[in-house]
């Protein structure tokens, strides 16, 4: 039987989101099913299944019934992808020809000018994109990128080249500005590129630790630096330092830009001010949970009106990003489990926020903390409605 995971990853290379690819593969494998059954088979959250089906229908990959329960059927692959296949073949052929001609032109130009000994080359704004594509294709081991809105827009136009080097198992890492997480350009970057968010101010592309491309976001002009060991090492160090503290974005990839920005704001607020507020509250008020909740509201983040499922989904995303953890709600037992692969209290700020939010919504909570030095930590929150 064909591996469904491989099919899903392959579909993402043709422009489908992760959820769209999972849903289409599940439909192909199981025929006509209800929306709820599709959510189960494809492992897509129920809250995301209908928007995903609408996107598949718009792309002419699925048919959705108008009756209830909603039934859905995949359009046959030969009908759905015939046009896309020919389009991709034409693009690849054209790109191969272009890359070959560009390489020849570059080599001839450098020889004619005797420029082999130069340390850098200026590139006009009109040629930066072609240069970036060539440098991505020519990479051998790693690519490190710091990109603002301008740089991310350029990178989004290199989807085919990125997909090509990923098939060669290159390590590709990108740091983007928080405001660009889940933007249109962000979503064009193929799966396999690891992306994190941080406050950066430059466009710097480092290839194999020695080849650099710098791009000016004011005028779009660029400059390449070849075999510059010192500059390459320094830029790698700058990248590594920012990367360690940058926000992971994998858990946000299927969210809207607004939802992703809210998650980022929650994490930044707690990281920047949470500890001081907890210590102050514990010493003065002895109510750290409610004070953490007020800290978010003070910074324009309001969770009180959200449903319990929405709140847990937010906390789950935060835990995935901050401590490789998860939040799970068992409706039958009214038990919420918070897990973190890191111990020493990494999950406790988020437990505090969740506990405070539950209390604000009228729930009575009982919390049990478990710590395992080798497996991380786990917190159980038993909830019940306060009696009026």
**d(Cα 228, Cα 206) in Å, to the nearest integer?**
11
Provide the pLDDT confidence category of residue 139 given band limits of 50, 70 and 90.
very high
At 37 the pLDDT is: 92
* Overall residue count recorded for the chain in this entry: 388
- Indicate the range of 18-22, 156-160, 292-296 predicted with least confidence: 292-296
At 120 the pLDDT is: 65
Residue 286 scores a pLDDT above 70: no
pLDDT 10s digits, 210-266: 888 999 988 889 988 876 566 777 888 889 999 988 888 888 888 888 888 888 888
Burial of 337 (0-12, 13-18, 19+ CB in 10 A): middle
Q: Which residue has the higher pLDDT, 29 or 346?
A: 29
**d(Cα 212, Cα 217) in Å, to the nearest integer?**
16
Best CA proximity match to 255, nearest among 318, 182, 174, 180: 182
Same fold, 119-248 and 252-385: no
- Indicate the range of 143-152, 181-190, 373-382 predicted with least confidence: 373-382
The 8-class DSSP code of residue 345 comes to T
The separation between CA 175 and the C-alpha centre of its own chain, rounded to angstroms, equals: 11
**d(Cα 222, Cα 202) in Å, to the nearest integer?**
12
Q: Which fold has domain 119-248?
A: Endonuclease; Chain A (3.30.870)
Domain boundaries, the chain: 4-80, 85-116, 119-248, 252-385
Q: What percent of the chain is modeled with pLDDT above 90?
A: 27
Please give the class, per CATH, of domain 4-80: mainly alpha
Residue 118 scores a pLDDT above 50: no
Provide the pLDDT confidence category of residue 358 given band limits of 50, 70 and 90.
confident
At 136 the pLDDT is: 94
At 289 the pLDDT is: 46
Q: Which residue has the higher pLDDT, 210 or 388?
A: 210
Provide the pLDDT confidence category of residue 283 given band limits of 50, 70 and 90.
very low
Residue 173 scores a pLDDT above 90: yes
**Average pLDDT, rounded, for the chain:** 83
| Cis bond upstream, residue 69 (ω within 30) | yes
Provide the 3-class DSSP secondary structure of residue 14. coil
**Averaged pLDDT, 266-282:** 66
Burial of 229 (0-12, 13-18, 19+ CB in 10 A): exposed
Provide the pLDDT confidence category of residue 129 given band limits of 50, 70 and 90.
very high
Q: Which fold has domain 252-385?
A: Muramoyl-pentapeptide Carboxypeptidase; domain 2 (3.30.1380)
């Amino acid at each position: 039987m064909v591996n469904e995971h491989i099919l899903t990853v392959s579909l993402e290379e043709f422009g489908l989101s992760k959820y769209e690819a999972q849903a289409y593969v599940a439909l192909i494998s199981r025929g006509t099913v209800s929306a709820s059954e599709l959510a189960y088979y494809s492992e897509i959250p129920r809250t995301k299944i209908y928007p995903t089906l609408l996107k598949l229908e718009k792309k002419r990959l699925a048919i959705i019934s108008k009756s209830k329960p909603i039934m859905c059927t995949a359009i046959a692959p030969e009908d759905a992808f015939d046009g896309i296949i020919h389009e991709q073949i034409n693009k690849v052929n054209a790109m191969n020809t272009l890359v070959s001609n560009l390489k020849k032109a570059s080599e001839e130009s450098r020889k004619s000018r005797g420029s082999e000994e130069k340390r850098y080359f200026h590139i006009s704004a009109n040629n930066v994109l072609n240069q970036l594509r060539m440098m991505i294709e020519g990479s051998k081991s790693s690519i490190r990128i710091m990109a603002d809105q301008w740089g991310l827009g350029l990178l989004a136009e290199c989807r085919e080249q990125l997909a090509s080097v990923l098939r060669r198992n290159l390590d590709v890492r990108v740091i983007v500005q928080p405001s660009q997480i889940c933007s249109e350009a962000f979503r064009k970057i193929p799966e396999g590129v690891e992306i994190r968010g941080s406050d950066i101010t430059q466009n710097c592309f480092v290839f194999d630790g020695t080849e650099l491309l710098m791009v000016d976001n004011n005028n779009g002009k660029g400059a390449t630096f070849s075999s510059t060991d010192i500059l390459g090492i320094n830029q790698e160090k700058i990248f590594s330092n920012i990367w360690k503290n940058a926000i992971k974005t994998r858990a946000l990839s299927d969210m809207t830009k607004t939802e992703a920005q809210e998650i980022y704001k929650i994490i930044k607020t707690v990281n920047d001010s949470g500890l001081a507020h907890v210590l102050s509250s514990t010493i003065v008020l002895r109510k750290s949970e409610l004070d953490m909740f007020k800290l978010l509201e003070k910074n324009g983040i309001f969770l009180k009106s959200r449903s319990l499922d929405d709140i847990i989904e937010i906390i789950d995303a935060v835990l995935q990003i901050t401590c490789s953890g998860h939040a799970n709600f068992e409706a039958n037992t009214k038990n919420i489990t918070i897990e973190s692969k890191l111990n020493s209290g990494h999950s406790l700020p988020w437990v505090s926020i969740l506990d405070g939010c539950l209390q604000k919504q009228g729930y009575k909570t009982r919390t049990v903390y478990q710590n395992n030095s080798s497996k991380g930590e786990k917190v159980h929150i038993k909830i019940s409605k306060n009696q009026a």
